[in-house]
Structure 1
Amino acid sequence: MAVSKSSLEDYWTEFHEIESNKDPDEEEEEEELPKTPDGEQEARWLKEVGLDAVVNRIKDGHGLTDDEMEAVTATLTSSQAAVVKRRVDTLSTTMRKRQKQNKTDVRDIFPTQETVNGGLYGSPGSFHRLSGGSIGEGQTTSDQVILRQGSKAKDRSFIKRGVYSMSGRKTDEAVSPDQTGIEMLSVHPKRSYHHPVAERLSGGGLPPISDHEDIMFELKTEESSRYIKDLGYQSGPKQKVGDNLPNFTLVKDKLGVTQMSDLGSSDMSQIRSLALLELTSLFDNHNITYRHRKAKKRVKDHGLFGVPLHTLLENDRKIEPRVTVPIIFHDIICFLESHCLDMEGILRVPGSTGRIKQLRGELEERFYSGAISWAEVMPNDAAGLLKQFLRELPVPLLTYEYIEAFAQVEGIKEKKLQLQALCLLILLLPPVHRNTLQMLLRFLQRVVNKCPENKMSLANVSMIMAPNLFLVSSGRSKFKGIQEREITMAAGTSNIVRMLIKYLDILWTVPTFLVQQMRRQNEISQQRKGRDKSKIKFLAKKDKSDLYKKPAIVQEGDFEEGVIRVHAPNLTKSSTAIRLDNCMTAGQIVDRFRNTDEALKPVNGRENKKKTLMQQGVYSDPDKVSFAEEHTYLYETGGNLGERCLDHQTNMMALYKVNPNAEWVIKTSYHR
């Protein structure tokens, strides 16, 4: 459906405001990354998903055998495996072509019959053929390939058809006519992914990996309305505000809802690799491509504006170690939430250019000394300062690497799949960018919720913030009038911001499937070490076996099935054994460490109480009692993941069956 310029009035008003206030001396020159040599984009992508050793092996001139390829993809879904295989095959073909250009192969002068037929390097007489194009979704690995003449070393370097280029199109350009590929004789249907290595090595209570279309989110659709009542449109006459996005509710998992802040840094690194795999598969299936960009812009290492977020955070943590977003950004948001939510036209009505410039200078000079009086700041000036802060980030909030990918999500038609793509992209953002974006969107939600007072609907807020987040190009002012392409971009980016605001709580949830897949990877990694190390020794990484060992048995009772020992090193009640039942939740376990314990009742006076409690080993020092408070949670540590803060509704028996080797620790978390 065509989008008119008039329907995006707020967008263009903000657009021209940005253009008119631009400082020509600080204008940003944005350009695409320089063209990379053939194969380098595939190599970079493989490294980003954790397959550095595979890239090194291919660049050293060694192709991957089918057994090795099977080991690489053992813990992936069929669609994820297909994504990896396409890039491995393209990189292998590119490297071999490059090597042939650098040296003459004796087989090119005196070709053997096996070579003419597509024989493998160092494996005469064997060959593969590919029927019907590339390895696609729903197809599995080479255990289903018929091997001609009994070869065991099934090298993947000679695949012909279906070679993948990073432009998103399949190409045969890098393959010479005499090379043949693999003949796929059977495939598994879409849905469950049956992989022989995964089946042999998987254990515990983890369900099989699935390729179901709802793999990322389990969502139920609530009754949708053109007038979004939960965003403040229920009062007054109905208006056609264009905010009629469907209402989704996240179906809660019995293993607990995992927020992005719940996982440790090592786990999030692993989840990020899986998210990139899943996003690439989703984009491939919809023929979507995006560019990585960079900007020629001087990067400051001090001050407040025009400084990278990670630099600001690093400096701020010297003052307050627990902060997760820059303090200046936090303070601007707090001021706006405290004083400006009810103001009509907040974000839309521009502040005074002179006052904003003066305020900015004062902040740069005296912010950290605490000499700034926010009470004297005008609301619209603070809103203008917030937008300036976002626009002048040398690395934008959505990052140059993924900013175009966010915009391209509009190319996916189904709303649920758009949500999946946005969630995956948010997982890929650096932590400080992800946390800052979350704080911004939470503020924008609160603005929208006050729509009856401030007249700022979800559509209004989204159109105003879109050009500030998606960086209007400095070259735009050279064109006269508004082009059709720009109208499409304005509508698309505004809609993405609209979804980010409305579905904030869903988008900051780690899909259960990815957590499940991470657990399986860790379990199989540990089990592989005791099986055939030589087969995949090129994949060897630093030994992390201590992380996943079963905790030492402290008391004999802990060894009983269904009994866990919960540790609370920072509380007076330092540990206790708990027998689980099918209904017990993580929150109920935390409650046992709150100030309701029967053990605190006097027992024949203080001395007898102290003696009794010391004998029971319950309290380390009854004179200094410390209990679980509001921000206290149960943590799952070790076993088949690193560390996870548990949702209070987590079913502990179900989780215990999935990760029986975990330790359980009571700790404080301020990020939930």
Structure 2
Amino acid sequence: MLSSSSTTSSMLPSHDTVTSDRRCVAMETYWREVHSIEEEKEGEEEEEERKSMDEVELEEAWLTEAGLSSLVTGSVAAEETLPPAEVLLSTLTRQQVTTVRRRLDNYNETLKKRNRQPIRDVRDVFTEPDDDSADRCPSPPSHHAESPPSHHHTTTKTIRRNAHRVRPTLPMFVYEDQLPEHPSSPTNTHSPTNTHSPTLTPSPPHTHLPPTGRLRRADWLLRDTPYSEGVSEHKRGGTCWDCLRFHGDNNSELQFVPVSPSEGLTCADDLSSCDLTRLGFISHIEVSTFLLALGVQTKRTRPPRRRTRDSGVFGVPLNSLLENDKKKFPGVKVPVVFQKLLCILEQTGLQTEGILRVPGSAARLKYLRRELDRCSGAFDWSAVRQVDAAGLLKLFIRELPTPLLTHTHLSTYRSLLGVSSEVHQVQALQLLSLLLPEVHRDTLRALLVFLRKVVFHQDQNRMSVWNVSMVMAPNLFTCCHRGNKSSIAKQREEMEEAVGAARLIRLMITHQDLLWTVPTFLLLQVRHMNQVSNQKQLGLSRTTRRLLRRRNDKNDRNQVTELCEGVIRVQAPRHTKVSMAIQLDEQMTARDVTSRFECEDTPVQHLYEVGGNICERRLHPDCLLLDVYRVNPHCDWLIKP
């Protein structure tokens, strides 16, 4: 039983009474942070309890976020900018299709019970496949010697004009994929380098990483098969390949590092907004399929009603802050006030004992908050001490109308506590990070980079990764502290939630380089979606596409053979050398090409692949251009900052 004393220490639930996990010791830091937050909220209106969404709202929101809103709303206006439903569905694997089918069936069954009919019949868009439906739209050619079985499916479309609307169903699919017994990884890999860092808060490459011998290679990034395909062995009584490899690994504190494929490591920032949108649709479907395969259920709640301010700093949406900052600082990606607070802490607090943990004066914090809201542009930052900056930073995160991890995904983050394997937790965190809006993703990355610097100086500041995680967890995850009046069961549940939230933050800090990395299978699905969408825009018939595909496949093989002996033309419109013909060989990298255009007083240049089966992708300096060409033979090559 918890003590009923009114002292601050008595308000901190005793670890020994609620959990026996030896790793979750010294949770007093977490509860002191919760108590400090509650003191700051005294006199403020309490946030209303968040209610669960009903089945119709839940499924409709899920389908909309998956890019399939036309299946439930009947709207065709969005199809001008978003891929049609059949284009998206044609890229999905068997298990991903099963997830979509289950969601749509649940939506329709719920409508049927309420005597309602969907606005648009899905059979107005799809028909069941005929003899030609087995001819699938081609996936991007693989650069491996032995291509794995295809994991994509296709549908055909027929527009019908009738007034009869019945319950929608997903079309029939031709399944051709087989789960490999042991997912393999390409042997040709390159050491990763950190090429992109948050604005104004750069992380020097390899500064905060443990020795190379103590790193664990995240080679699952190289697989062509989705994560959900790998864990499906659990349901069939087999053993997951990742669990088999990392089971019993006592080095859980060691960092997973990205492993680069030969065509280059891809981060979220390397893709265009169009590709990121399509990547988000597939990631949304995959994370649901992945968690379902792991036996984890998620339940979303309605966002609480919170007042949104249009001016000031605190309580203002990140998008609004960023739009205002871009007027003065074009190209900024993280709100300036957030970067200012991080810079103060880096300059004065990294070696201060108890940074982020020691609370400042509540009265001074309120004063500084009022001043920042009143005159943020002319605010005197020299008067802000390290302890003040820490308090303002945490207050800024808590006051966001839309949480840094967003209302949409907070419940999914919490559901990861039911995943037993750390590898699978990291994989799910990676998929969720790719789903965050751009400004939220960039702000979270800047925060995690700073927290890693704090941990790097733990010998001086006494803030280990676990201490930092306990301090930040109540600020990133909404915490409802029920005090000592709740039952033992409630206390146990509260403690487990606290421990789980701190664990998630620890994983995000330790493995942050993986969070922004796009797995190979997701990029392949985006390429496939672009290719199908391009063919659809051309209005080609199935027979014409089949004949054209056969001819293109033959031409592609011939072109690759000729390219090994020939040249590519690289465009550089911002240089004196507008273009250059470059002969390729097996070892030529993007760095080799950009170095030929380097000159004095020019910013860092990057090579991009543009067009073909991708809208635009910035190439990793170490990627092999011949392998990029084999994946996207019809792309253009462009050099720009």
Tell me: CA distance 1:378–1:32, structure 2 relative to 1, closer, same or farther (3 Å).
same
Does the CA-based 8 Å contact 1:15-1:472 persist in structure 2? yes
- Structure 1 residue 28, shift from structure 2 partner: 2.5
- State the partner residue of 1:315: 324
Given the alignment of the two structures, is residue 190 of structure 1 paired with residue 198 of structure 2, yes or no? no
CA distance in 1, matches of 2:356, 2:42: 21
Tell me: CA distance 1:654–1:442, structure 2 relative to 1, closer, same or farther (3 Å).
same
Tell me: CA distance 1:516–1:328, structure 2 relative to 1, closer, same or farther (3 Å).
same
- Structure 1 residue 10, shift from structure 2 partner: 0.9
DSSP 3-state at the match of 1:510: coil
Does the CA-based 8 Å contact 2:355-2:387 persist in structure 1? yes
- State the partner residue of 2:207: none
- State the partner residue of 2:217: none
CA distance in 2, matches of 1:450, 1:273: 39
> Percent same amino acid among aligned pairs?
38
- Structure 1 residue 650, shift from structure 2 partner: 1.0
Given the alignment of the two structures, is residue 362 of structure 1 paired with residue 371 of structure 2, yes or no? yes
Letter in 1 for 2:258: L
Does the CA-based 8 Å contact 1:344-1:456 persist in structure 2? yes
Tell me: CA distance 1:87–1:3, structure 2 relative to 1, closer, same or farther (3 Å).
same
- State the partner residue of 1:296: 305
- Structure 1 residue 665, shift from structure 2 partner: 1.2
Given the alignment of the two structures, is residue 573 of structure 1 paired with residue 577 of structure 2, yes or no? yes
DSSP 3-state at the match of 1:565: strand
Tell me: CA distance 1:156–1:364, structure 2 relative to 1, closer, same or farther (3 Å).
closer
For structure 2, the residue ranges without an aligned partner over 5 or more in a row are 1-18, 77-83, 119-126, 129-149, 156-164, 182-221, 233-239, 544-561
CA distance in 1, matches of 2:306, 2:484: 19
Letter in 1 for 2:179: K
Does the CA-based 8 Å contact 1:222-1:247 persist in structure 2? no
Does the CA-based 8 Å contact 1:218-1:250 persist in structure 2? no
- Structure 1 residue 72, shift from structure 2 partner: 6.2
Given the alignment of the two structures, is residue 2 of structure 1 paired with residue 20 of structure 2, yes or no? yes
| Structure 2 counterparts to residues 407-486 of structure 1, below 5 A | 407-473=414-480, 479=486, 483-486=491-494
- State the partner residue of 2:144: none
- State the partner residue of 2:102: 86
- Structure 1 residue 643, shift from structure 2 partner: 1.0
Given the alignment of the two structures, is residue 506 of structure 1 paired with residue 495 of structure 2, yes or no? no
- Which TM-score applies when normalising by structure 1? 0.68
Computing the radius of gyration from Cα coordinates, the structure with the larger value is: 1
Letter in 2 for 1:584: M
DSSP 3-state at the match of 2:463: coil
Tell me: CA distance 1:222–1:574, structure 2 relative to 1, closer, same or farther (3 Å).
farther
Letter in 2 for 1:642: C
- Which TM-score applies when normalising by structure 2? 0.71
21-30 or 334-343, which deviates more: 21-30
DSSP 3-state at the match of 1:582: coil
2:405 is matched with which residue: 383, 398, 409? 398
CA distance in 1, matches of 2:271, 2:87: 27
- State the partner residue of 1:615: none
Tell me: CA distance 1:19–1:85, structure 2 relative to 1, closer, same or farther (3 Å).
same
- Structure 1 residue 638, shift from structure 2 partner: 1.2
43-52 or 500-509, which deviates more: 43-52
Does the CA-based 8 Å contact 1:73-1:81 persist in structure 2? yes
Given the alignment of the two structures, is residue 383 of structure 1 paired with residue 390 of structure 2, yes or no? yes
Does the CA-based 8 Å contact 1:217-1:511 persist in structure 2? no
Letter in 1 for 2:273: S
Does the CA-based 8 Å contact 1:267-1:642 persist in structure 2? yes
DSSP 3-state at the match of 2:415: helix
CA distance in 1, matches of 2:287, 2:419: 12
**Number of equivalent positions:** 509
- State the partner residue of 1:521: 529
- Structure 1 residue 573, shift from structure 2 partner: 2.1
DSSP 3-state at the match of 1:368: coil
| Structure 2 counterparts to residues 206-245 of structure 1, below 5 A | 212-213=229-230, 244-245=252-253
1:585 is matched with which residue: 586, 589, 594? 589
- Structure 1 residue 96, shift from structure 2 partner: 4.9
Instruction: Tell me the alpha carbon deviations over residues 51-95 of structure 1, each in whole angstroms, 9 at most, x when there is no partner.
Output: 233334699xxxxxxxx9987633211111111122233334444
CA distance in 2, matches of 1:214, 1:642: 31
| Structure 2 counterparts to residues 70-81 of structure 1, below 5 A | 73-81=89-97
- State the partner residue of 1:24: 43
- Structure 1 residue 572, shift from structure 2 partner: 2.1
| Structure 2 counterparts to residues 216-295 of structure 1, below 5 A | 244-285=252-293, 286-295=295-304
- State the partner residue of 1:633: 606
CA distance in 1, matches of 2:89, 2:336: 43
Tell me: CA distance 1:362–1:300, structure 2 relative to 1, closer, same or farther (3 Å).
same
Letter in 2 for 1:17: S
Letter in 2 for 1:643: E
CA distance in 2, matches of 1:140, 1:32: 38
Does the CA-based 8 Å contact 1:363-1:372 persist in structure 2? no
Tell me: CA distance 1:221–1:635, structure 2 relative to 1, closer, same or farther (3 Å).
farther
DSSP 3-state at the match of 2:313: coil
Tell me: CA distance 1:454–1:71, structure 2 relative to 1, closer, same or farther (3 Å).
closer
Tell me: CA distance 1:158–1:641, structure 2 relative to 1, closer, same or farther (3 Å).
closer
- Structure 1 residue 303, shift from structure 2 partner: 0.3
Tell me: CA distance 1:18–1:517, structure 2 relative to 1, closer, same or farther (3 Å).
same
CA distance in 2, matches of 1:220, 1:260: 29
Structure ranking higher on relative contact order (CA contacts 8 Å, 6+ apart):
2
CA distance in 1, matches of 2:571, 2:467: 50
Tell me: CA distance 1:533–1:40, structure 2 relative to 1, closer, same or farther (3 Å).
farther
1:13 is matched with which residue: 32, 38, 56? 32
Letter in 1 for 2:263: L
CA distance in 1, matches of 2:248, 2:607: 36
Does the CA-based 8 Å contact 2:609-2:617 persist in structure 1? yes
Letter in 1 for 2:530: N
CA distance in 2, matches of 1:387, 1:568: 44
- Structure 1 residue 7, shift from structure 2 partner: 3.2
Letter in 2 for 1:644: R
Instruction: Tell me the alpha carbon deviations over residues 452-491 of structure 1, each in whole angstroms, 9 at most, x when there is no partner.
Output: 0000000000011000110223766875887000000000
CA distance in 2, matches of 1:435, 1:351: 27
DSSP 3-state at the match of 1:32: coil
DSSP 3-state at the match of 1:509: coil
- Structure 1 residue 366, shift from structure 2 partner: 3.0
Does the CA-based 8 Å contact 2:68-2:85 persist in structure 1? no
Does the CA-based 8 Å contact 1:636-1:646 persist in structure 2? yes
- Structure 1 residue 423, shift from structure 2 partner: 0.9
- State the partner residue of 1:491: 499
DSSP 3-state at the match of 2:460: helix
- State the partner residue of 2:71: 54
Letter in 2 for 1:190: L
Tell me: CA distance 1:156–1:71, structure 2 relative to 1, closer, same or farther (3 Å).
farther
Given the alignment of the two structures, is residue 665 of structure 1 paired with residue 633 of structure 2, yes or no? no
CA distance in 1, matches of 2:639, 2:117: 61
Does the CA-based 8 Å contact 1:362-1:372 persist in structure 2? no
CA distance in 1, matches of 2:343, 2:459: 21
Letter in 2 for 1:419: V
Given the alignment of the two structures, is residue 651 of structure 1 paired with residue 624 of structure 2, yes or no? yes
- Structure 1 residue 301, shift from structure 2 partner: 0.7
CA distance in 1, matches of 2:44, 2:521: 48
Tell me: CA distance 1:93–1:140, structure 2 relative to 1, closer, same or farther (3 Å).
farther
Letter in 1 for 2:581: A
586-595 or 449-458, which deviates more: 586-595
For structure 1, the residue ranges without an aligned partner over 5 or more in a row are 60-67, 103-121, 124-137, 144-154, 164-180, 193-205, 229-243, 536-557, 596-625
DSSP 3-state at the match of 2:614: coil
CA distance in 2, matches of 1:570, 1:187: 46
Letter in 1 for 2:60: A
Tell me: CA distance 1:96–1:509, structure 2 relative to 1, closer, same or farther (3 Å).
same
Letter in 2 for 1:432: V
Does the CA-based 8 Å contact 1:590-1:628 persist in structure 2? no
